[in-house]
Amino acid sequence: MSLAVGDAAPDFSMPASGGRTASLATLKGKPFVLYFYPKADTPGCTKEACAFQEALPQLGKLGVEVIGVSKDKMPPIEKFAAKYGLTFPLASDPDTKVAEAYGVWVEKSMYGRKYMGMERATFLVNKDGVIAEIWPKVKIEGHAAEVAKAIAAL
């Protein structure tokens, strides 16, 4: 991962669920969580998204927005958001430009086969657009709570 705490968050603008646009420009002056997940509506990604959804009231009180990012196109993302009542924006990065900028489009390996894929990672960006915390290779259990704790410390 090429980004480090203290780096400026790379710019982005992506279509997001609910007809929204997720962009660095619209988040100026607000802290936010940008989390990358491999694929909409898969068991791990569903668990992670639902945990962030549950943490939303607490994060909202802290003035923090949450944005999920995957390579999926908008139709499966919209379906995923509707199926689980996810109210925060889920953004589509089909050409992986944003994932590459954040260093999470990586070589993976399964059953000896190498392929490119999305690393499950979370970035906490402060109100100045600077990366305050990075969680690479996220373990889903307890992750949203861990992120909320870091936000409270901002």
- According to DSSP, residue 137 is labeled S
Q: Per the domain annotation, does 121 fall within a domain?
A: yes
| Model pLDDT, residue 121 | 96
Buried b (16+ CB within 10 A) or exposed e, 120-153: bbbbbbbeebebbbbbeebebeebbeebbeebee
Q: Per the domain annotation, does 144 fall within a domain?
A: yes
Closest residue by Cα to residue 92 from 75, 69, 123 = 69
Domain hosting residue 83, numbered range: 13-22+29-152
Q: Per the domain annotation, does 102 fall within a domain?
A: yes
Q: Per the domain annotation, does 2 fall within a domain?
A: no
What's the number of domains the chain is made of?
1
Q: Per the domain annotation, does 4 fall within a domain?
A: no
| Model pLDDT, residue 110 | 86
Of 45, 49, 99, 131, which one is the catalytic site residue?
Answer: 45
CB atoms within 10 A of CB 16: 22
Does residue 1 surpass a pLDDT of 70?
no
Q: Per the domain annotation, does 78 fall within a domain?
A: yes
45 tagged catalytic: yes
User: What CATH number corresponds to the domain at position 133?
Assistant: 3.40.30.10
- Give the lowest-confidence range in 97-101, 131-135, 141-145: 141-145
The pTM of this model reads 0.94
Q: Per the domain annotation, does 5 fall within a domain?
A: no
**How does pLDDT run across 14-59, given as a tens digit for each residue?**
999 999 999 999 999 999 999 999 999 999 999 999 999 999 998 8
